[in-house]
């Protein structure tokens, strides 16, 4: 069994201009995973812990290359056949962030639908929308060192507290996220909220207002209840367990965390981790089809893997896949799916590259 330092040396021997210092992942029981600097084209290496065999993953993540004989130099121009071996990604660093007793990020720990449940006192103690806005601006400044606009106009007070709490949890983990403002407004489409590439999170007043609060809470609870009902029927003769949104996401905090996933993806990293996320999904699907660890019918394809591991909404497109996986990890911590952790860590790796990581 090799050590992480051994893995670094294996990579350095195969790619002589590799600087082994910056990006290392502690993989699962089978692999160490290392990210190479931009000077190497953003290559990703996977080293088998038992044998020391080296595999390379392209920056574009369109193939997973075969291992070469020990000592054979890397040919940058060689075309290599893909191999189906899978890599499971875990958290990419050993730093400790504030978590609650369920292992979730942030001081609020996801909270609940009720005002003040699991919420930081800076927000829970606000008695008016104006006081809440002031408290949120101050709390975000404490976390990030930046001035971020928070407007609760048009929102129910309790709902705004929950939304702002979710945003703070994400900022504690990603303080350099390109978030510039959090507001409430009418949204033409029937969506809870949306995030934009310029760093805005907008909550739909159809749901965030006092008039819409009860319907909002009921709809959110329904969106995640599939996970609590056990195995359900989706299609003919397919026994599968899933739901529209991720486990335990049926609160306004969960909506905020989902939108902050978009902020990391589209506003902070310009979706640069998409190729890696796509590749990890392919690997995870192949691995699950071999091992069949998910209850119910065998996994058919990548879409089925997303449905059963993350949520139905994550199947919509690559942006929703990233945001739902982000929410899963932020809400559920260690109990989030392995696929969510893999996608979260792809987002995190690109975040660290683009922002320099935690201050």
CA distances from 226 to 19, 105, 295, 322, 341 (A): 46, 24, 14, 20, 21
Tens of pLDDT, residue by residue over 58-91, are 433 332 222 323 333 333 333 333 332 322 222 3
What local confidence, expressed as pLDDT, does residue 17 receive? 61
CA distance 202 to 182: 6
- Which of 64, 35, 72, 32 has the alpha carbon at shortest distance from 51? 32
- Which of 142, 153, 151, 208 has the alpha carbon at shortest distance from 180? 151
Q: Can you tell me which residue has the tokens 């359900």? A: 232
Tens of pLDDT, residue by residue over 139-154, are 999 999 999 999 999 9
CA distance 196 to 155: 20
For the chain, give the mean pLDDT. 76
Please say if the pLDDT value at position 349 is more than 50: yes
CA distance 64 to 201: 36
Q: What is the reported pTM?
A: 0.71
What local confidence, expressed as pLDDT, does residue 41 receive? 57
In this structure, what DSSP letter does residue 147 have? -
What local confidence, expressed as pLDDT, does residue 40 receive? 56
The strand ranges marked E within the chain are 23-25, 31-35, 44-48, 54-57, 149-150, 181-185, 193-195, 200-204, 232-233, 239-240
Calculate the dihedral angle through the C-alpha atoms of 133, 136, 137, 141, rounding to the nearest 10 degrees. 180
Tens of pLDDT, residue by residue over 253-300, are 999 999 999 999 999 999 988 888 888 888 888 888 888 888 777 888
Task: Give the residue-averaged pLDDT of 299-322.
Answer: 91
Tens of pLDDT, residue by residue over 99-110, are 344 444 443 333
What local confidence, expressed as pLDDT, does residue 46 receive? 72
- Which of 74, 323, 90, 69 has the alpha carbon at shortest distance from 193? 323
For the chain, the straight-line distance linking the first and the last C-alpha, in angstroms and rounded, comes to: 35
CA distance 338 to 309: 8
Dihedral sign of CA atoms 313, 259, 110, 252 in order: negative
What local confidence, expressed as pLDDT, does residue 334 receive? 85
What local confidence, expressed as pLDDT, does residue 19 receive? 57
Task: Give the residue-averaged pLDDT of 195-215.
Answer: 96
The CA-based angle 331-336-337, given to 5 degrees, is: 150
């Amino acid at each position: 069994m090799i050590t992480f330092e051994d893995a670094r040396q294996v990579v350095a021997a195969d790619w002589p201009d590799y600087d082994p210092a910056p990006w290392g992942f502690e993989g699962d029981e089978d692999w160490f995973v290392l990210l190479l600097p931009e000077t190497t084209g953003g290559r990703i290496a996977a080293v088998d812990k038992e044998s020391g065999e080296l595999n390379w993953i392209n920056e574009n993540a369109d193939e997973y290359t075969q291992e070469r004989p020990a000592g054979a130099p890397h040919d940058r121009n060689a075309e290599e056949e893909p191999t189906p071996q899978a890599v499971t990604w875990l958290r990419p660093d050993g730093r400790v962030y504030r978590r609650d007793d369920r292992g979730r990020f942030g001081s609020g720990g996801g909270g609940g639908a009720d005002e003040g449940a699991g919420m930081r006192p800076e927000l829970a103690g606000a008695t008016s929308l104006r006081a809440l806005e002031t408290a949120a601006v101050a709390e975000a400044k404490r976390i990030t060192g930046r001035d971020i606009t928070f407007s609760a106009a048009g929102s129910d007070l309790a709902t705004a507290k929950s939304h702002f709490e979710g945003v703070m949890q994400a900022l504690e983990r990603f303080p350099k996220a390109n978030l510039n403002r959090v507001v409430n407004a009418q949204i033409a489409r029937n969506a809870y909220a949306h995030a934009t590439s310029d760093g805005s999170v907008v909550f739909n007043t159809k749901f965030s207002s006092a008039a819409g609060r009860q319907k909002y809470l009921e709809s959110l609870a329904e969106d995640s209840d599939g996970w609590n009902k056990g195995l359900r029927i989706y299609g003919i003769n397919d026994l599968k367990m899933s739901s529209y949104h991720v486990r335990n996401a049926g609160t306004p905090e969960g909506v905020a965390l989902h939108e902050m996933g978009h902020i990391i993806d589209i506003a902070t990293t310009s979706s640069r981790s998409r190729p890696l996320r796509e590749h990890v999904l392919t690997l995870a699907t192949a691995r699950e089809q071999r091992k069949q660890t998910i209850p119910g019918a065998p996994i058919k394809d990548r879409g089925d893997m997303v449905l059963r591991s993350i949520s139905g909404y994550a199947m919509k497109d690559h942006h929703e896949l990233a945001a739902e996986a982000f929410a899963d990890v932020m809400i559920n911590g260690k109990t989030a799916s392995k696929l969510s952790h893999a996608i979260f860590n792809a987002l995190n790796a690109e975040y660290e590259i683009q922002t320099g990581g935690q201050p």
